[in-house]
Amino acid sequence: MSDDSDEKPPCKQITTLHTYKTDFNADSVEWCPHEPHQNVFVCANYQLKESKDDTNAPRERFGCILLFSVSLEELRLLQTLPTAAILDQKWCHNPVNGCSILGVANAQKTIEIYALNANTVQLDLITSYQLEDDDSETLVLSLDWSTGKYESSEPELVCSDSKGKIHRFKFTNNELVRDGSWNGHDFEAWIAAFYYWEPNIFFSGGDDCVFLKFDKRAGLEPVSRNRNHEAGVTSIHSNSKREYVLATGSYDTQVRLWDIRFLKNCTSCIKTPGTLWRLKWDPFYHKHLLAACMLGGVHIIKSNNPECLEIVDSYYKHENISYGADWSFSPINSKEQALIATCSFYDNLLCVSQVGLNNQ
């Protein structure tokens, strides 16, 4: 007999429109932000090949990028692109040379850059950069573009890796040029992200529970080191409309808001039903966080001001680890309705859902 206290609350204003079973484990979804392709998104996959012997050799990690288009009536697979296993992917916020550009972090210590061909609506590989390293295994764990607030024809990219390092690049002339590497964390650096209001500033979070602030103008050492998180820091997202506001997520199940000028203590926090993996500010009101909480479902957290966080809706369609979550940039009914995409590991489930925001 089930315990009523364990029953999950019903969705209030989230309606599943489409589901899709991926062949491999699904761990990331990202919507294209640019017209006329705001109905297009990518779902990344990560699969660990089963070992047939007891050797200590690294097992193969492989995956693919699935490119979809969506409407309220149809989810359509446009392309399947075989790759190494993917840990993270992000679209550059503005087009570069008229193209939508996708950055991809993979398990072969490589960052890849793809362009969306406007005519064929297919992804084409432009360039890649493999981190110089020893022969040991290195995974690129996350990446972010500098363009969340200000457009750039030569955008910068920051990424983090499984050795705890942070790397910064400039994308220029269709090439990635490394601008520097920073020693950040004792263990995996799960996340690196720009402060969009001043791209010289970027942040990182690691499995050592440390939350770091860097300023490229100040050299290689972090300018701030915070140890308030009680477990690994997994997600960081700058608010592009609210200056100084930054959100972090952690394995300690807490979502925290920060004023980046005063990083000794967060301005507010809220406990979620599971460990955090991804946080995304909505692109319309910039006051709703979409939170992928691994085994605790997907949630919409409202922030009317830096002192108040509230879970206003919950989504439990995924029966395993919810890693990926993102907002569509194309509003429905004048921002009163939005689309989200979510995905989960092991059950290989991708969902596209409609969300009501007018009463939340």
Tens of pLDDT, residue by residue over 22-81, are 999 999 999 999 999 999 999 999 999 876 665 666 678 999 999 999 998 999 999 999
Phi and psi torsions of 5, nearest 5°: -70, -20
Mean pLDDT along residues 195-217: 98
**Domain 25-47+59-314 -> CATH class:** mainly beta
Q: What is the pLDDT of residues 251-283, one digit of tens each?
A: 999 999 999 999 999 999 999 999 999 999 999
Nearest C-alpha neighbor of 26 from the set 338, 339, 325: 325
Q: Are 273 and 243 in contact (CB under 8 A)?
A: no
Residue 210 is predicted with a pLDDT of 98
Residue 59 is predicted with a pLDDT of 78
Phi and psi torsions of 212, nearest 5°: -115, 145
Exposed / middle / buried, residue 136 (Cβ in 10 Å: 0-12, 13-18, 19+):
exposed
User: How many angstroms from the chain centroid is the CA of residue 146?
Assistant: 14
In sequence order, what are the residues at sequence separation of 6 or more whose Cβ sits closer than 8 angstroms to the Cβ of residue 303? 247, 257, 268, 287, 288, 289, 309, 310
Residue 3 is predicted with a pLDDT of 40
Residue 337: beta bridge partners? 332, 356
To the nearest whole number, what is the mean pLDDT of the chain? 93
State pTM to two decimals.
Answer: 0.94
Taking the domains of the chain in order of start, what are their residue ranges?
25-47+59-314
Range name among 51-65, 101-115, 126-140, 295-309 with the lowest pLDDT average: 51-65
Give the whole-angstrom CA distance, residue 175 versus residue 239: 28
Residue 52 is predicted with a pLDDT of 67
